Amino acid sequence: MGENATYIEAGNCVGKKKISQTGIKVNCNGGEKPTFGSHNMGIINKVQYTSVDDMFSGDSLSECNLFSGKWVFDNTSYPLYKEKECKFMSDQLACNKFGREDLSYQNWRWQPHHCDLPRFNATRLLERLRNKRMVFVGDSLNRGQWVSMVCLLDSSIQDPNLKFMNYNGSNLISFKAVGYNASIEFYWAPLLVESNSDDPVNHKLPERIVRSQSIEKHARFWTDADILVFNSYLWWRRPHIKVLWGSFEDKNGIYKEVEMLRSYEMALKTWSDWLEIQVDRAKTQLFFISMSPTHERAEEWGASNDQNCYNETKLITKEGYAEYRKEGHPSTYRKQWETLSEEQLSNPSSYSDCIHWCLPGVPDVWNELLYAYIFRQ
């Protein structure tokens, strides 16, 4: 699977238990699985964009798989916004601010094979979100996509008095577009269900514990949302997860080490059961985003075994390898929250971030895809 996260309309999966063996890819409609990315790449100077209305008229959607395509270099129309002009940019993702000089990672556009991806129109989306809430729920990758969405919308609101960020002291952060009474929010819940990693700041713990049957602590913040965008992947990347039956305050709670895929399946069932009961599908659009690739092992694309995405500035062109965008990660070009040791400084690969994505960059394409599917209905 390529860099563009797979969008699943989660409501189609509720109650059907169509989780794959990976626990990641979901295909509830029996259709073709997305093949995000062909081997081909191209360079262009001029682009014609399709309108959303044309994109989803007639049978165009059924005839076109938006997830099968190629990366096209386009330094005329991209990036869709400037890093330094987005006042809500995250220092975790602001690669140019922290020293990256090669900015070509900002100029790659996703081109489906058999149609054009609709051009992102911030004003139109804000109109769609008038008097509504759009909530991203999940881990730091979903937070990155939320920051991307905020920057995409921010650029269309010129008056600084008509936009602001609200931090309410909990897991919820909200961008408010005052003129539209629209709220675009992020809620930190890296495992979706309740866990000991739920603090949005202090969550680096040696042992990961989940209450796989408990989601209400988080979900009460999303119940009235009009668009929900979920993800959960990074925090499950270990062989086993400790599952708690009982509360964290209960001294008699039962703990058990559970194989990762099984514990993930348990959490997703709790999540989907909650959607089935609590969410009004006539009101709320639901999306689940699968994992995006990391580039932590350079041997995967034929480079040195002891390297990762550090110093990478070009896409991968290895035959048969779909996860091209190794150059799109922050690497060392981000704020370091902890003081680096001399040993780390002598080996930049050791602290390179090859998981998250620079902005502007790959997450903007995820939001272009999300934009297309929001207007599909």
Task: State if pTM tops 0.85.
Answer: no
Bridging pattern class, strands 163-167 and 227-231: unpaired
Confidence of residue 14 (pLDDT cuts 50, 70, 90): very low
Beta bridge mates, 112 = 69
SS (H, E, C) 208-269: CEEECCCCHHHHCCCCCCCEEEEECCHHHCCCEEEEEECCCCCCCCEEEEEEHHHHHHHHHH
Taking each helix axis from N to C end, the angle separating 362-374 and 140-154, rounded to the nearest 10 degrees, works out to 70
Q: What are phi and psi of 174, to 5 degrees?
A: -130, 130
What mean pLDDT do residues 320-337 have?
Answer: 80
Q: How far apart are CA 205 and CA 82, in angstroms?
A: 35
Percent of the chain with pLDDT over 90: 55
What local confidence, expressed as pLDDT, does residue 372 receive? 94
CB proximity list for 192: less than 8 A, separation 6 or greater: 137, 138, 215, 218, 230, 232, 267, 268, 270, 271
What mean pLDDT do residues 282-286 have?
Answer: 94
Confidence of residue 28 (pLDDT cuts 50, 70, 90): very low
The residue with greater pLDDT, 32 or 358, is: 358
Task: Catalogue the E-assigned strands of 28-132.
Answer: 41-43, 69-73, 108-112
Q: Sign of the CA dihedral 256, 257, 259, 264? A: positive
What local confidence, expressed as pLDDT, does residue 317 receive? 60
Confidence of residue 68 (pLDDT cuts 50, 70, 90): confident
What mean pLDDT do residues 189-199 have?
Answer: 94
What local confidence, expressed as pLDDT, does residue 138 receive? 96
Nearest 10 degrees: CA dihedral of 68, 316, 103, 117?
-10
What local confidence, expressed as pLDDT, does residue 53 receive? 54
Q: How far apart are CA 215 and CA 267, in angstroms?
A: 9
Confidence of residue 15 (pLDDT cuts 50, 70, 90): very low
What mean pLDDT do residues 339-343 have?
Answer: 82
Task: Catalogue the E-assigned strands of the chain.
Answer: 7-8, 41-43, 69-73, 108-112, 133-138, 163-167, 172-177, 182-188, 194-195, 209-211, 227-231, 240-245, 254-259, 285-289
pLDDT higher than threshold 50 for residue 85: yes
What mean pLDDT do residues 188-204 have?
Answer: 90
Q: What three-state secondary structure class fits 134?
A: strand
pLDDT higher than threshold 90 for residue 307: no
Beta bridge mates, 188 = 138
The catalytic residue among 90, 139, 356, 364 is: 356
Burial class (CB in 10 A: 0-12, 13-18, 19+), 343: exposed
What local confidence, expressed as pLDDT, does residue 318 receive? 55
**Window from 109-113, 237-241, 319-323, 353-357 with minimum mean pLDDT:** 319-323
DSSP state for residue 157 in the 8-state scheme: -
The catalytic residue among 90, 140, 197, 352 is: 140
Q: Are 297 and 320 in contact (CB under 8 A)?
A: no
* 140 catalytic per annotation: yes
Share the mean pLDDT of the chain.
Answer: 81
* 91 catalytic per annotation: no
What local confidence, expressed as pLDDT, does residue 7 receive? 39
Token pair belonging to 307: 């390297």
What local confidence, expressed as pLDDT, does residue 203 receive? 78
The catalytic residue among 74, 154, 198, 353 is: 353
DSSP state for residue 286 in the 8-state scheme: E
**Window from 260-274, 287-301, 357-371 with minimum mean pLDDT:** 287-301
* 329 catalytic per annotation: no
Other Cβ atoms closer than 10 A to 291: 19
pLDDT higher than threshold 90 for residue 91: yes
What local confidence, expressed as pLDDT, does residue 356 receive? 93
